[in-house]
Every structure is written in structure tokens, then in C-alpha cells.
Amino acid sequence: MSNTRFIRVTAKMLIVVMMLSILAVSLDYIAPPAEARRVTQTQINELRDEKREYERQRSEIQAKINELAFQQLSEVAKKGVLDERIIITGLEIENINAIIDNYAILIREMEYEVAIAQANEEEQLEKYKSRVRDMEENGVISYLELVFDSTSFTDLLARVDFVSEIMRADEKLYNDLTEARNETIAAKEALEQSKSEMEEEKANLEQKEAELNEQLEEASAIIHAMEQDIEVERALRALVAEEEERIQKEINEKVEELRKQEAANNAVRGTGELVWPANGRLSSRFGWRRHPVFGGRRHHNGIDIAAPHGANVFAADRGTVIISAYSSGFGHYIVVNHGNGMTTLYAHLSSRRVGVGTAVSRGQVIGLIGSTGVSTGPHLHFEVSVNGSRINPISKL
């Protein structure tokens, strides 16, 4: 093949490749493949696994409630089963709130990624537009001149390699632009998907909160009904009083054991000045109070603080947890030893966040407000004991 013919064939091939490259610009962008989820989404999936476990537990409790055997239980025992259901519902609400919080973080990160992707796309688009303008001004003749001006076959091959490099650079510009566009599309799709999933969780949260309110009313109705029957009410109060004395005896025994160990073990000691254990309204004071229906007086050994179900309960002072348990009267309750003979008791909790032996700091969250045990609404029953005797908590707050 003569040099002249080779040059002409090469030039034609270059023109065809150039035209195909320009034509490719007019094609629609291809939808990007789905991106792999990140660690934050993995955390959300783990929370959803927890949600499924709570749903399983709730189904088991509901099946227990639906059985004939449930109707044959005592009213206090029934209240205990209903309390279990309320606790699970509360945990489900916590779980959903955690999922929503994770989605909020994920969405903020995704919005940032969309902004970055769009900025990158605009940058690549400007680069490509600049290259296309150069091509329009110079035309393909600039490539042909490089070829036809060659002085030898070796020079021609070198010039063809140079032209190929230029074309590869043009192709890379186009590919970079396409990739940037695909990244923007993928980021926006992922963002919209996460927003949609978060809205579903918010709707689920509203449903669970409505269920919780219904369950609280059903559980409270049992105690209310018992209080309307004088004989049943007396039996109930006798049961509660007996249980309170048993628990106080247990507290005193543990305090005495710990007193002997305090000097040797450098036990955590409180300041002696307490902070309020919950944010709420003082709904019942320490001392004697009269039954609203039948009269009669009984001693209230602590104070009640009314607060929303699930609100935080705080350790009133630093110390060590000596009891974390459930009783039919107090429901879920915690006792903290502060040294120097002082203890505090937190009752009717919906959740206990510390176990026996845990060292707690002043103001630390140790549980959540609830209505477990003999209780007719969400509140914290709070007691203070000094050297085995219950005192008015207000005197230390």
C-alpha cells in the first residue's frame, strides 16, 4: 500500500471515530446500578431486626391474654400481664424512634452527597462543553493537518499515536461526564428512598403511640375497678403494704451488709443532697392520705411525680444499685445505695436501665417512667430511706 493511500485511509478512520464520539453525546444517560448501602443503613437494618423480635414477644403476650387461663387470674396478676404488653410496646416505640433518628442522620449525609455529585457533574459538563467548543472552532481539519503534514512514515505513525491520545482524552471527558451524571441520579434516588422509609416509620410510630395509650387505659382500668370495691381495695392495699415492708426489710439488710464493706472496698458514696429524679409534676406527697371513695387513711411512704410514659428517671445522687427487680405492687423498681445509710427507691418504671452492682452518677438515666404494678397512670413513686427509716424525700431535694 502506498504512503498516500495509507494516509487517506487513516484520515477517513479518524473522521469516522470523531463523528461517532460526537454522536454519543446526544444519547440519553443510562440509569445507574444500585449503590451498596453504607454502615448507617446496616445499623437501621439491625434495629429492624430488633423490631421483629419485639413483635414476636408482643404476639406471645397477646396470645397469653387471649387464653381462657388469663380470665381466671387474679386482677393483680392480670395487671402484671398487661404491664408486660405495655413494656414491649414502649420498647417498640423506642426502637422506631431510634430508626427515625438514624434515618435523619442518613438523609443529611445523603443530601450532602447529592450536593457533591451535582457539583462534580456540573464541573464535568463544563469541561466537556469547553472541549466541544474547541472542536467546533477548529473542526476535524486540525487532526488531518497533523496527519498530512507528516514528513515520513515514522513521523506519520507518531502523529497518528498523538491523535489517538487526543481522542482517548475526549472519550474520557465524555465518560467522566456520564459517570458524574449517574452518580447524581443514584444519590437522588437513594435520598428519596430513605425519605420515604422514614415517613413510613413515622406513621408506624403514631400507630404504636395510640396502641400504648389504649393499653395504659386498659391496665389502669383494672386497678380503678379494684379500688371501687371496698373489700377488694382493702385486700389490694394490704398486699401492697406487706410487699413494701418486705422490700424495705430487704433494703435494710443489704445496706447493713454494704456498711460493713464500705470502708474496705471504697464504696461509692453520695453527696447527701439529692436532685429531682424526674421532670414532672408533684402529684402526691409523703405522709397520710385518705381514700377518695371509702375514706380511711394509709401512709404514703414516698412522693409521686407525674410524667409522660417513657420519660427519663434519674439517679438522685451517685451510688450503687442494690436492687433492680419487679414486684406486683411497685412494678419495675430500682433501689440505689448512696452510703452513709441512705437509699433511694424508684418504682412503677416501664424500663430498668441498670442492674445490681452498677455504679451510677448523680443525674444518670437509670430507668423510664411507667405505670407498672399497682398504678393507675404513668408516674414515678420515689422513696428515700435513712438508716432503715423512710423519710420525706422533699427534705433532701
Query: Phi and psi of 387, rounded to 5°?
Result: 55, 40
State how far the Cα of 247 lies from the Cα of 302, in Å rounded to an integer.
14
Q: Along the 397 residues of the chain, how does pLDDT read in single tens digits?
A: 444 444 444 444 443 334 334 333 333 333 333 444 454 688 888 888 988 999 899 889 888 888 878 887 888 888 889 999 999 999 999 999 999 999 988 888 888 888 888 888 788 777 766 766 666 566 544 555 555 565 554 555 555 555 565 556 666 766 777 777 788 888 888 889 989 999 999 999 999 999 999 999 999 888 888 877 777 777 888 888 888 889 999 998 888 887 777 655 656 788 888 999 999 999 999 888 765 544 556 778 999 999 999 999 999 999 999 999 999 899 999 999 998 889 999 999 999 999 999 999 999 999 999 999 988 889 999 999 998 899 999 999 8
State how far the Cα of 287 lies from the Cα of 123, in Å rounded to an integer.
75
CA distances from 52 to 14, 48, 49, 57 (A): 62, 6, 5, 9
The pLDDT of residue 150: 55
CA distances from 307 to 145, 212, 275, 374, 381 (A): 86, 15, 16, 17, 11
Placement of cell 412494678 in the chain: 331
The pLDDT of residue 73: 83
Closest CA relative to residue 268, chosen from 314, 316, 313, 317: 317
State how far the Cα of 88 lies from the Cα of 236, in Å rounded to an integer.
26
The pLDDT of residue 108: 87
The pLDDT of residue 255: 85
Label residue 306 exposed, middle or buried (CB < 10 Å: 0-12, 13-18, 19+): middle
The pLDDT of residue 35: 44
State how far the Cα of 98 lies from the Cα of 50, in Å rounded to an integer.
11
CA distances from 145 to 6, 17, 138, 159 (A): 15, 16, 11, 10
Torsion of CA 307, 310, 314, 319, to 10 degrees: 130
Query: Phi and psi of 190, rounded to 5°?
Result: -65, -40
CATH number of 229-396: 2.70.70.10
- HSE at residue 160, side-chain half, CA atoms within 13 A, is 18
The pLDDT of residue 224: 84
Domain boundaries, the chain: 3-226, 229-396
